[in-house]
Amino acid sequence: MRPSAARLLNILVPIKRAVDYAVKIRVNPQQTGIDLNVKHSMNPFDEIAVEEAVRLRERLKGAVASIKVVTIGPAKAAETLRTALAMGADSAVHVELPDSAPAPEPLGVAQALRALVRREAEREGGGVDLVIMGKQAIDDDAGQTGQMLAGLLGWGQATFASKLDVDAEGKSAVVMREIDGGSEEMSARLPLVVTTDLRLNEPRYASLPNIMKAKKKPIEKLTAADLGVDFTPRLETIKITEPPTRVGGGKVASVDELVAKLKEAGFTAV
Amino acid sequence: MLRRQLVRPLSPCARQPLCTSLRHNTFSTSTRRRLMGMTGFTETQLTVREAVTAVCSHFPNTYWQEHDQNQQDPTEFHAALAKDGWLGIALPEELGGSGLGISEATMMMQTIAESGAGMAGAQSIHGNVYATQPLARFGTQAQLHSTIPNIISGKWRVCFGVTEPNSGLDTLRLSTTAKKQPDGSYKVSGQKIWITCAQVARKMILLARTTPRDEVQNPSEGLSLFCIDLDRTQPGLDMRRIKKMGGCAVDANEVWFDNYPIPADTLIGAEGQGFKIILHGMNAERCLLAGEALGLGYAALGKAAEYARERIVFQRPIGQNQGVAHPLADAYMHLEAAKLATYHAARLYDASKTDTTIRQDAVGVAANSAKYLAAEAAFTACERAVLAHGGMGYSVEFDVERYFRECLVPRIAPVSREMILNYISEKVLELPRSY
């Protein structure tokens, strides 16, 4: 395989450790947050992002130089990095936060990622060409970080991607986006931030040999200070409560009664 | 196609069996209750559990119900685990395995059984894990390179040919012979029984007598181990499936050899040393079986607790009655205790490979105790799970009847409860041998 004359691509995939999608969320007794003493796993949208990076490498045959994953979180977030490494990423960065630290907000995360992208640019082998990340995390559902990162870097952005084609030599990408009422195709020059939607791919399971290989892959540890960012939240959470329990509906004996009830409630036929 | 379902006293959606078969990123919000306490496991064991659970989630209880009823081999399940490298969990890295220990393999087998695959799922896999251990340790380079990679990739499946109709626990009296021919090859004659997966296996790890019992000084000599092809087109090989109580997806067989020819290079290790070689894998097998029993027990108990929470009789959940709750709580404690014994034995087995202060009989005591305790705890959990379900426990659709039928296997195999009690009496308590 002859490598192309152009510089090879470097992909950065930011990932987040979140409460597992299958866990039933409960508000903690102090009503300050949710019970976090439950199973955590990689945010599913981020799994899709890691999968897409690995598939890009498979599709582009030798044009991808590196896939680096990064997470910002407590010590346990390293498990999530190992999962990504087992799926096929090459190396990882862990911006470690104390267990007691509040969860960083999208802007803080975007600033940290910008600092990381700039740091990578100074390295041999060239800077990041493509950031692929989940469109949102399933814990806070903010859905802002990708857009903020593109804004801070002055890069293009292609959000809610359902298909991604990258031309490594031409340094460009064609992205199919999911939008209201259909999909939109757009082309963009690299460097680029892509956020993934649910239908982009179906992530693979890590195979046992790859899990074993992942144990030997490097995880670089950094602190907020190393990146010169401040994760102090700008928002204050006052109180978190469960939604009110659903009140059961009434039963009606006939269609006429149903229609009457609907009219009573203010619904009218068009 | 919609499966016809029994009229359920519960809301069907809370226990929809197909939920688990959905893609893992469809954001289902069903709670996955895990009964087993997870403290004290290594990071690798937890990773194994997580990853194997993910593979097994594609094979819901309905898959196992159907394969059990139709006596159909779970070929897809074996292939799925092989594809992701799981069959090589305890095989050397240079042959394509992952070089992990029995501690991790036991966790894998427990996770498989616990997923709802039960003993059927476990039996479709475990021969490939433990029967290959003596081969990996004593085989020649040529034998290893021609077989192990094909076993790990799932291309070839393996069965273990030791048990005979007239020598079950009394292995040294086995009467299948391998007669050496002038050209160095052998001809095998005799009968084997309870050979799991023989119908689908390409290879058999065979123990046969190469020197008659009355011609050796010690009865443990004169047996030899072979890794042979099961070539059904050759004359002299016949097999018949045994109809059995549980684990019906996986075939168990009687196998007959009548002057079945095998080449000289199928011999593993030295001729006449087969028994010593095979002993090597037996403690490992006990650990795996203990793990499988635990998985089955936790699966049954999980189902029972769920049912007891949701089933309303006399305007309250049946689990509110202590007559229902206490037997389940008791079963839980037995499983947790057996879990500690099981992973202790597995840890000891692994450590004994490098730590010479750990004696082999200490490993034997731990592994046999673990198998005994786990099998009994699983039986208790499965029986009580059926009873907690009342009439529904008797229906196939609620799975606990299948677990109950299968939980007899670890009580009987690979060694009976009574023989373990004999072993502990003799080796630990230093009581005279009764047989």
Question: Which residue of chain B comes nearest to A25, CA vs CA?
Answer: B29
How far apart are the C-alpha atoms of B395 and B313, rounded to whole Å? 19
B304 domain-assigned: yes
Residue B122 CA to residue B288 CA, distance in Å, equals: 9
- Residue contact B51–A209, C-beta within 8 A: no
Instruction: Give B20's contacts (C-beta < 8 A, 6+ positions apart).
Output: B30, B57, B60, B61, B116
B355 lies in which domain range? 275-427
CA distance A31 to chain B (A): 22
Chain A positions touching B112 (Cβ under 8 A) are: none
Amino acid at position B281, single letter = G
Distance CA(B250)–CA(B68), nearest Å, equals 8
Contact B88 A208 (CB under 8 A): yes
- Beta-carbon pairs below 8 A across chains A and B: 55
Amino acid letter, residue A71: T
Q: Which residues contact B82 (CB under 8 A, 6 or more apart)?
A: B152, B153, B154
Find the CB nearest B28 among A22, A207, A211: A22
Q: Testing the interface with A: which of B21, B34, B43, B50 to mutate, by most A Cβ within 10 A?
A: B50
Residue from B258, B88, B267, B255 nearest B184 by CA: B267
Q: Which helix (H) or strand (E) holds A111?
A: helix A106-121
pLDDT above 80: residue A7: no
Domain assignment present for residue B77? The answer is no
- CB spacing of B29 vs A21 below 8 angstroms: yes
> Hey, CA dihedral for A27, A33, A36, A39, is it positive or negative?
positive
Minimal CA separation from A214 to chain B, in Å: 12
- Same domain? For B247 and B168 the reply is yes
Mean pLDDT of B367-371: 98
Q: Are residues B395 and B322 in the same domain?
A: yes
- What's the CATH code of the domain at B356? 1.20.140.10
pLDDT (tens digit, 9 = 90+) per residue, A132-180?
Answer: 999 999 999 999 999 999 999 999 999 999 999 999 988 999 999 999 9
Q: Write out pLDDT tens, residues A206-216.
A: 999 999 999 99
Phi and psi based region of residue B383 (left: phi greater than 0; alpha: psi -120 to 50; beta: remaining):
alpha
Tell me which residue in A23, A44, A205 faces B54 most closely, judged by beta carbons. Answer: A205
pLDDT band at A61 (very low <50, low <70, confident <90, very high): confident
With beta carbons under 8 A apart, name residues in chain B contacting A46: none
Torsion of CA B19, B20, B21, B22, to 10 degrees: 60
Cβ neighbour number for residue A24 with a 10 Å cutoff: 12
B176: CATH: 2.40.110.10
| pLDDT at B3 exceeding the cut of 80 | no
- As for the ipTM of the complex, it is 0.80
Which of B56, B72, B75, B63 is CA-nearest to residue B17?
A: B63
Report, as an integer, the average pLDDT of A101-121: 95
User: How distant is the Cα of B20 from the closest Cα of chain A, in angstroms?
Assistant: 10
Q: Do B27 and A203 touch (CB under 8 A)?
A: no
Strands A17-19 and A40-42: antiparallel
The CA distance from B304 to B308, in Å, is 6
The closest alpha carbon to B287, from B195, B380, B368, belongs to B368
Residue B206's beta-bridge partner residues?
B161, B226
| Nearest chain B CA: its distance from A143 CA (Å) | 17
Give the pLDDT confidence of B379-408 residue by residue, as tens digits. 999 999 999 999 999 999 999 999 999 999
**Token pair for residue B116?**
């709802």
Cβ pair A44:B27 closer than 8 A: yes
Partner residue facing B29 (CB), from A24, A39, A203: A24
Give CA–CA dist B16/B283, Å, rounded. Answer: 39
Same domain, B291 and B254: no
Whether pLDDT at B32 is above 60: no
* Final residue belonging to a domain, choices B236, B251, B272: B272
* End residue of a domain, out of B234, B252, B272: B272
Residue that finishes a domain, picked among B242, B272, B302: B272
d(CA B220, CA B242): 29
Contact B83 A211 (CB under 8 A): no
Dihedral of CA atoms B34, B40, B45, B48 in degrees, nearest 10, equals 20
Mutate to test the interface with B, among A45, A138, A196, A208 (most CBs of B within 10 A): A208
Position B319 scores a pLDDT of 97
**Chain B interface includes A29 (CB < 8 A):** no
> Does B172 fall in a domain?
yes
Tell me whether residues A21 and B32 touch, CB distance under 8 A: no
Check CB contact under 8 Å for A209 and B98.
Answer: yes
**Minimum CA–CA partner of A41 in chain B:** B50
CA distance B49 to B59: 16
Mean pLDDT is lowest, of B167-171, B229-233, B344-348, B403-407, for B167-171
Number of H helices, E strands in chain B: 13, 10
Residues of B with CB under 8 A from a CB of A: 23-25, 27-32, 43, 47-48, 51, 54-55, 83-86, 88-89, 93, 96, 98-100
Distance between first and last Cα of chain B? 57
Is the torsion defined by CA of A94, A97, A99, A102 positive or negative? Answer: negative
Q: Chain B residues with CB inside 8 Å of A138's CB? A: 27
Tell me if A198 and B25 make a contact (CB, 8 A cut-off). Answer: yes
Whether cis (ω within 30° of 0) applies to the bond prior to B414 is: yes
Shortest Cα distance, chain B CAs vs residue A122, angstroms: 35
Answer yes or no: do B212 and B188 share one domain.
yes
- CB contact under 8 Å between B25 and A206, yes or no, is no
In chain A, the residue whose alpha carbon lies closest to the alpha carbon of B100 is A212
Q: State whether residue B366 is helix, strand or coil.
A: helix
Backbone CA torsion sign across B138, B143, B145, B147: negative
Check CB contact of A21 with chain B, cutoff 8 Å.
yes
End-to-end CA distance of chain A: 65
Write the secondary structure of A57-91 as one string of H (helix), E (strand) and C (coil). Answer: HHHHCCCEEEEEEEEEECCCHHHHHHHHHHHCCCE
- The encoded tokens of residue B268 equal 């593993």
pLDDT of A187 > 80? The answer is: yes
Residue B49 located in a structural domain: no
A51 in B contact zone (CB under 8 Å): no
Average pLDDT over residues B19-34: 43
How far apart (Å, rounded) are the C-alpha atoms in residues B366 and A96? 41
Please check whether residues B342 and B268 belong to one and the same domain. Answer: no
Overall domain count for chain B? 2
Rounded average pLDDT over A87-111 = 96
Q: Would B385 be classed as within a structural domain?
A: yes
- pLDDT at res. A96: 97
**Residue B7: per-residue pLDDT:** 58
Please give the sequence-ordered ranges of beta strands (E in DSSP) within B134-243, or none if there are none.
Answer: 158-161, 177-180, 186-196, 203-209, 223-229, 237-241
pTM score, whole prediction: 0.85
Residue B435 has pLDDT above 90, yes or no: no
In a domain, B247, yes or no: yes
- In angstroms, the CA B133 to CA B284 distance is 9
Residue-range domain boundaries for chain A: 9-264
CB contact under 8 A, B88 and A24: no
Q: Which CATH class is domain A9-264?
A: alpha beta
- What pLDDT, on a 0 to 100 scale, did the predictor assign at position B2? 45
B238 and B288 fall within a common domain = no
Separation between Cα atoms, residue A212 and residue A204, nearest integer Å: 16
3-state secondary structure of B140: coil
Q: Which helix (H) or strand (E) holds B282?
A: helix B274-310
Residue at B131 is within a domain = no
Question: Which residue is closest to A80 within chain B, CA to CA?
Answer: B47
Q: What is the pLDDT of residue B275?
A: 92
Beta bridge partners of A194: A132, A158
Q: Which of B355, B375, B373, B356 is nearest to B365 (CA)?
A: B373
Q: What sign results for the dihedral spanned by CA atoms B103, B105, B106, B111?
A: positive
